[in-house]
Structure formats: structure tokens, C-alpha cells
Chain A
Amino acid sequence: MIVILKPGMLASVQDLGRHGHRERGICPGGALDTLALTLANRLVGNADGAAGLELTMGNCEIRFEQATRIALAGDDFDARLDGRPLRAHWSVPVAAGQTLRLGGANVGTSKKALRSWLAVAGGIDVAPVLGSRSTDLKAGFGGHEGRALKKGDRLAIGTPRLDAAQMARRAFGLHAPDWALDGEPLGAADPIVLRVMCGPEFEQFTAASQKTLWKALWRITPQSNRMGSRLAGDTPLARRRSVDMLSSGVIPGTIQVPPSGQPIILMGDAQTTGGYPRIGVVIRADLWKLAQAPLLGQLRLVEVDATGAQMAWSAQQRYLRQVAQGLASAGWPAAL
């Protein structure tokens, strides 16, 4: 069992998402940074799709009643296990009774971060609903009682795939994804660059707005959440003609432009259909950066085509293969 002593801003049980039900209006949800959850899961010998905890803006405390093994991905928020520093992207043994504490983010100071993902060996053991253990916060089902975690919640843990010796092994770490893929920590990137393909309604926008999309510095407003990152720029985006759009499918990464002209980048908990023009779509390989981009942080959007997007995706897959090989040669069970 693990016990939530302090949940922080928003803690919820998430796996890689509830896929295959968009036709029913059910959004995929899941960990907004699937790369982070996958890495954390592999570090503790879990299947990639095991359920973990998504933590928002640190400030949380979790106690482990039994000995186990954990890994944190995303920002570490000065994590400490019974006072000793715990690094992100490390696989760490935990003794019975130890408490993990994440410090708080200080918006407006040099500490810029947003989310973390915690994997526990064996995974969070909640009943799957519609094929997933993710929490659908909007519709109130899945995960732990269909809601955000609160103080006092106790969560069961599944059976680890690691044997006793592996569970007790000394802590070891991985080459973090931001360093591996971009050569610098995400926290140092300012603005964070997201690669974007033109959206189906890109041509409806004025020439000036099309340029603004790529040139502007977009601020991530505090109104951002798991449904989407609401951006603010100095110049609103405008279409040449204001035409009502028929409802059309939207996916995470879709950049919608409502009448205000300030874009919203949709994320896992967004509705499955929308009626606002889609000026662009963030490529799959960059969604993890959006999931971690801090409130009040800045984004720059850079145009790529399908080929550029595939290259970025291939680079990420290569990194994951290297991780799998590294863990396999350390004796870890094969990635699932």
C-alpha cells in the first residue's frame, strides 16, 4: 500500500491512456507525458502501460508502507526520500515506512517546472475501466474512484516483475530524455520549442497571423490544465473570414483558435470533437515537452512537415530502444 499524505495541486492515477473509444466521446486522457511514465515504469521493471501517479507542481508527500522500488520522471521538485535527495530518472529502492516528499514549484522564480510521474514496482493496482487504469477526471470514472487523489487515500500496489535481489539493488539512473534528445535540460530551455505541422484550417488565417504563429513568443497562462494549455500572445490570431466550423475530431497537440484569437493546445483530457479552427498540430514527439512546460513559461512554435515529424519520432524511439537495451544488460526484465 502507498498512502497519500499530501497530494499537491493535482495528483491522479494515470497509465498510458484509454485508447480506442474516441468514437464514443471518451477522451484518451492518461499521463500527459507518456515518455516520462514509460521511462519510470521501465526503471522499476513494470510494463510500459502500468499505472503510476501524475503529480502536479510538486508539494506532495507519499508514504510507502512496504519495501518497494520507485522511479520519478519529469521534474524532481527537490524530491527527498526520508530527507535524502532522490533524482529523477533513477531507479531507487525504498524501505518500508519511508516517505517521499516533493518540494513546491515557485511560479515566477527560477524554479520552473510543472509535472512529475511516479512509478512504483508492480504498478498502482486499481481496476481497469474500459481497458485503462487512467482517471477520467471530467467524467468521474477510472483510476482511484474516478477523482483526483486526496490526503488519506491508500492505493494498492501490484506484484512487481523484479525479483527480490533486483528490488533491493542499489539505486541507478538513466540518461534523462531532455539531455538525450535535446542536449540540454528542459528547464533551461526558454522558450521551449515545439515542432508543429500546419493544421487543416491553417490556410483560413490571414498571412499576418500565419507569420505570427511561427514568430511569436507564446506564454502559457495559469488557466492551463490537463484539457489544454491556454496560450497568450501579443497579437491575437485572425482568420480572413469568420466561418462557423462543423464539429470535427481533435487530438492531443491540436492547436485551436477560439474567437479571442489566443490559441489553446489541446491535451489528453480535451474533448474528442471541437468547433474551433485548427491552425496547427504539435507533433507527437514534442507532446512530452508541452506536458512539462511550466505555467508562465514561453513557447515558440516551429513549422515542420510530416518527414520532420517522423524523424523526431524515430529519434525518440531510438532513445527508448537504448533504454531497453541498457536495462536488459543490467538484468532487468524485457520491456513490455
Chain B
Amino acid sequence: MSAPRLHALGDAALLCELPAPATLAQQQLIWALATEARSWPAVREVLPGMNNLTLMFDPALAEQAEIEMQVLTVWPQLSAAPIEGREIVIPVAYGGEHGPDLADVATHTGLTPAEVVRRHSGGSYTVYLLGFLPGFAFMGGLPPELATPRRAEPRLAVPARSVGIGGEQTGVYPLVSPGGWQLIGRTAVELFDPSAAEPTLLRPGDRVRFVAESIDL
């Protein structure tokens, strides 16, 4: 895999970007680079994106050129080894009042609501990164036949812990938020708790399974 494209993101951050499309193998290299860079003295924070990584550094400790050199030096030695991801099970109450858009997803995909639920909960999802909201996981692995465009009119307040489909992605809203995803269910599991020792449930590399706790069609 050739070295990432490097570009300044302002005067104290460096973007490292791999070419599209995003793949799990490329994301694993991003995770590996993040692990390395976290130990560099001048690096304050690492911020994984989809297929990319932003390194926030202290210019008083290292110039951008030095950080670039470190990235390019370590890159050939990185391997796309899977990180110690955990299996996380998320029980979901599908449909009914918790999944107001399940019927719309069924209509769009040409599947029955029961089949949408079966395929969604049958999938195996890998967390690529957290972003957008505290604890919100960008996950790969939605069965392609379930892809449904976002709603034309976003909701002003999606209930916390709603499970949804947005385009080719699926995910869970950790908190009440405006949102345009198709809501197919809801979980009781907290994805974000600021007072907990580990405030966010999911981490990059985790494998997520949704399990139907109840189905209300």
C-alpha cells in the first residue's frame, strides 16, 4: 500500500489520507498508524476518519515536516493486523414505535419488514471510527440490499439509542439529535455515558451484532 497523501489541516494538524474506496484493510492500516503516532511526543491527539487519520501536533515540539517524516518512515513497517476488537452485541427492539421507518425501508428495498429485520440482525458490522456525535460508530458491513436513502425531511429530534439506516450505512444515535436516517429500531444499551470510566461503548475494530430482542411489525 503506497504512502498516504499528507496535507496540513491548519497550523497544528496533519491529514494522512488513503485513496478511495474505503476498505477494512486500509482502515486497519489507519488504525496501525494511529497506534504508532499516539506514542510520538509531539502528537497530542489522533483522529481517525474513514480511510484517513488526522494527527494533531504541537508545533512548538515538532514542525509539520518532522511529523510527515515520521509518518513516511513508519508507514512501510505497518501491517494491516486486525486490532484487538471485541464482539459487542446490541439488542434491538425492531419496528413499532421504536422503528417508525421500518415499513419505508421495506418498501424501498422490496423486502418484507420481517426480512429487513432478519438481514439487518444477521449482519456482521465492524466499527471503523467514532465521530459525528459522542459514541457514534461509523460501521461497515450493511448488507447492500438494505441500503436506503436518508429521509427527505430530517427529524429535529431522533430519540436516543435509535438504530437506523442512512444510505449504505447503519448505526445507532447515542443521544437525541437531529437526523435524517431511517429509524428501524431502538436499543436500551447506552453508547455514551460521560460519567462512566469508559464513556463510549464502541471502539474502532469492534465487531457489532444486532440481535432482535423484539419485533413489532
Q: Which of B2-20 contact A (CB under 8 A)?
A: 7-13, 15, 17, 20
Q: Which residue of A lies closest to B135 (CB)?
A: A25
B-side contacts of A271, CB under 8 Å: 131-133
Of the candidate stretches B39-47, B95-103, B108-116, B144-152, the one touching chain A is B39-47
Contact of B49 among A19, A199, A273 (CB under 8 A): A273
Q: Is the CB of A24 within 8 A of B199?
A: yes
Contact of B11 among A25, A26, A313 (CB under 8 A): A313
The number of chain A residues with a CB under 8 A from chain B is 40
Q: Is the CB of B132 within 8 A of A251?
A: no
Q: Which residue of A lies closest to B198 (CB)?
A: A24
Q: Is B59 an interface residue (CB 8 A)?
A: yes
Interface bits B97-130 vs A (CB < 8 Å: 1, else 0): 0000000000000000000000000000000011
Q: Is the CB of A129 within 8 A of B47?
A: no
Q: Is B158 an interface residue (CB 8 A)?
A: no
Contact of A248 among B46, B49, B133 (CB under 8 A): B49
Q: Which of B24-80 contact A (CB under 8 A)?
A: 44-54, 56, 59, 63-64
A-side contacts of B9, CB under 8 Å: 199-200, 249-251, 254, 278, 281
A-side contacts of B15, CB under 8 Å: 200, 248-249
CA gap between A111 and B124 in the complex, in Å: 58
Q: Is the CB of A249 within 8 A of B10?
A: no
Interface bits A125-157 vs B (CB < 8 Å: 1, else 0): 000011000001011111000000000000000
Q: Is A282 an interface residue (CB 8 A)?
A: yes
Chain B min CB distance to A64 (Å): 30
Q: Is B94 an interface residue (CB 8 A)?
A: no
Q: Is the CB of B133 within 8 A of A139?
A: yes
Known: A272-B131, A284-B12. A22 touches B45 (CB 8 A): yes
A-side contacts of B210, CB under 8 Å: none
A-side contacts of B143, CB under 8 Å: none
Interface bits A298-313 vs B (CB < 8 Å: 1, else 0): 0000000010011001
CA gap between A253 and B175 in the complex, in Å: 26
Q: Is the CB of A273 within 8 A of B199?
A: no
B-side contacts of A138, CB under 8 Å: 133, 175, 177
Query: Looking at B15, B64, B131, B192, which has the most chain A CB atoms within 10 Å of its CB?
Result: B131
A-side contacts of B59, CB under 8 Å: 310, 313
Q: Is the CB of A249 within 8 A of B194?
A: no
Contact of B135 among A19, A24, A247 (CB under 8 A): A24
Chain A min CB distance to B19 (Å): 10
10 closest residue pairs by CB, A with B: A273-B131, A249-B54, A309-B11, A281-B10, A249-B47, A248-B49, A246-B50, A200-B7, A141-B194, A25-B130
A23-B204, A139-B194, A283-B10 given; name 20 further pairs at CB < 8 Å.
A22-B45, A23-B46, A23-B47, A23-B48, A24-B135, A130-B199, A139-B134, A139-B175, A197-B10, A197-B11, A246-B49, A247-B129, A249-B47, A249-B53, A251-B13, A251-B54, A254-B9, A272-B132, A306-B8, A310-B59
The contact sample of 21 A-B pairs, CB cut-off 8 A, is: A21-B134, A23-B46, A24-B199, A25-B133, A129-B195, A136-B194, A141-B195, A247-B129, A248-B17, A248-B54, A249-B47, A254-B9, A272-B47, A273-B47, A278-B9, A281-B8, A281-B9, A281-B10, A283-B10, A283-B11, A309-B10
